[in-house]
Structure formats: C-alpha cells, structure tokens
Amino acid sequence: MGLNFYINLSLFRLSSRSILIPKEIYTRLDYGLAMEIIFLGTSCMIPTKERNTSALLLTYNEENILIDCGEGTQRQLRIAGIKPTKITKILISHWHGDHVLGLPGLLQTLGASEYNGKLRIYGPRGSKVYVEKMMNAFVFSNKVEFEVIDIAEKVFFEDEDFLLEAFQLDHSIDCIGFNFIEKDKLKIDTKKAGKLGIPEGPVLGELQKGRAVTFNGKKIQPEEVTYSVKGKKITYIADTVLTENCIDYSKDADMLICESVYDSIHEDKANDYKHLTARQAGLIANKANVKKLVLTHFSQRYKNTQEIEEDARVVFDKIICAEDFMRLKL
C-alpha cells in the first residue's frame, strides 16, 4: 500500500515575527488506531530561530510518548497546543544536553500541574543516576511521581496493543535507538459476519479478540469472520555512526526517523563527532526496506534542508526533512 502525503502550510506567530512552517504533513494508512508523530525540535546541539533542540511526541490511542527532551520542549508543546500533562512516557536516547536539558523544567511543570499517575522515564544505562543528580540540582516545591528505568537492547514495554524496543547505537556516549511496534490486529469482515447473521455487538467483539463464540447454537471460529491487519512500525535513530544495528532494527519500518546532522561533503566531521550523514541515513532506509524516511537533527550550518535532502535522495527517494511542529499521521 502506498503512502500519500498531504501538506498544509500554516502561519505560526512567535514573538513579534511570523514564521511559515509546515504545520501538518499527513501520512494516511487505512487501518489501525490513530498514530501521530509531532516534531517539537529538529536542531542539533543548539536551538536556532527556526528549530528547537531534539524532541518529538508519538501519540497512539491514549498514549503520548515523548522521545528526547531538549531545552524548551515544554514551550514547544504549548505552541503545538499539547498539554504537558498528557505525556504518559518519556524515552531518552542519551544524555547529551541537546536531548535532555528540557527535562527538569518539564518535570517541575508536571509536578505543579498535579500530574496524575506515575510517569515512567526510560533511558540508557546510568539514567537513574543522571536524573538523581539533576533533581538534586534544583529545588522542586511540587515533585511529580516518576520512575526512571535503565534499559539496554531489548523490549522494555509491552501491552496488548504495542511494544517498545531499544537497540544500541554508537555515539560518543552510551546511546540507544527505539522501535515502536504495533501488534497485528484482527478486523471484522462485515460481509462474512452478515452472512452468518451476526449483528454488531459483544459477539463480534469476542471474535475480534480472537475468541471462538457460540451463536444461534453454532460454534464460530474467529477466522470465519475476521482478517489480520499488520501493525505499523516506527524506528527512531538518534546520534550514531553507521552500524549494522541501524539497518537490522529498522527492517521494514513504516517510518524511519533518523538523525542526519551533515551532508556527505562533511562526512569527516560526522565521523569525528560520531554522527550520520544524510546519505548514510538514506542507505539505512534503502537496505532496511523502510517505507518512508524522515530526516531530523540538522546542523545549524544549513540555512535550509535542500543539501541534506539531495544528499539522501542519491540512495533513497521516499524522504522528507522534518520541521518543527510538523505532524505526520499514520
């Protein structure tokens, strides 16, 4: 099934100036629960006038998963019209400042806003210590209840709808990437159900859950009235050099969100700082057979992303470059 993109450009007013930014770029698939990616920061290392540092929000059903939290992330959430208290989980790729400096301010806001429930923060080994030191550096009058969980290369969360998986990257400090993998869903074939005379209601609900039912004295198996729809997969690759893990864990992703600090002209610099070039990101997408590549985490040296995009298109064509406040719907 092809992926169709619809672009709607909207004016945002920031301070005393107006910036034209792509507010919504929608990717629509005809199945599954609603899933949306909101880019809150797409700059590498430092914020610019147009781009904040790294952060994105993945929404799925009732889940709102914040991935990385660069400085100013909570302000970006406000501009995007998202209440910080909606966040259900935070995933940290690594502990460089441009990925985490927004965390203390966000936690203080959540505490002052009477955040409901326990917030879980997942990050690479050592995250518990980093958060403890960070909390000791500030005075919090209202502390939010949270748990920090150090994770390695494994599935670290799973429920009936999706799982979250971490994989090791190769950066100057410990760094991990993430997979969001939606589980396959059973859907009701209404024509087949109609032929058997099964009305909408709890009987179809049980069948859709994969359970056999007895209806009008006849035992009906789920496969008689359902079909399976493959779940979607989103891969997030943060700061790294090119490794086999980048390809292996991105395999067949519906969307690969990948850092691309430089174009290939500056490959030596990318290697020195252990980052990817746009062409290397395109190579990952090509070899991993992903459906769509979204580039992010750009060096401030670039006034626009034309060079970055052209560099990646040499090896992979289904590509867009992220902008702050861009929204992708699957």
**pLDDT by position in tens, the chain (length 330):** 344 333 333 333 333 333 333 434 333 333 346 899 999 999 999 999 999 999 999 999 999 999 999 999 999 999 999 999 999 999 999 999 999 999 999 999 999 998 999 999 999 999 999 999 998 998 877 678 999 999 989 999 999 999 999 999 999 999 999 999 999 999 999 999 999 899 989 999 899 989 999 999 999 999 999 999 999 999 999 999 999 999 999 999 999 999 999 999 999 999 999 999 999 999 999 999 999 999 999 999 999 999 999 999 999 999 999 999 999 999
pLDDT at 143: 78
Residues 169-201 as b/e (b if ≥16 CB within 10 A, e otherwise) read: bebeebbbbbbbbbeebbebeeeebeeeebeee
pLDDT of residue 33: 64
Which residues are known to be catalytic? 98
Work out whether the CA dihedral 107, 110, 116, 122 comes out positive or negative. Answer: negative
Give the separation between CA 99 and CA 70, rounded to whole angstroms.
4
The first and second tokens of residue 100, run together, are: 């985490």
Three-point CA angle 285, 286, 292, nearest 5°: 50
CA torsion, ordered 107, 109, 115, 119, to nearest 10 deg: -20
For residue 129, what pLDDT is reported? 97
Structural domains of the chain, with CATH: 22-184+230-329 (3.60.15.10), 187-226 (no CATH)
Would you state the pLDDT for residue 257? 98
Q: How long a stretch of residues is the chain?
A: 330
- Distance from C-alpha of 245 to C-alpha of 126, rounded to nearest angstrom: 21
Question: What are the strands, taking DSSP E only, across 151-229?
Answer: 155-158, 162-168, 176-182, 185-188, 213-215, 218-220, 226-229
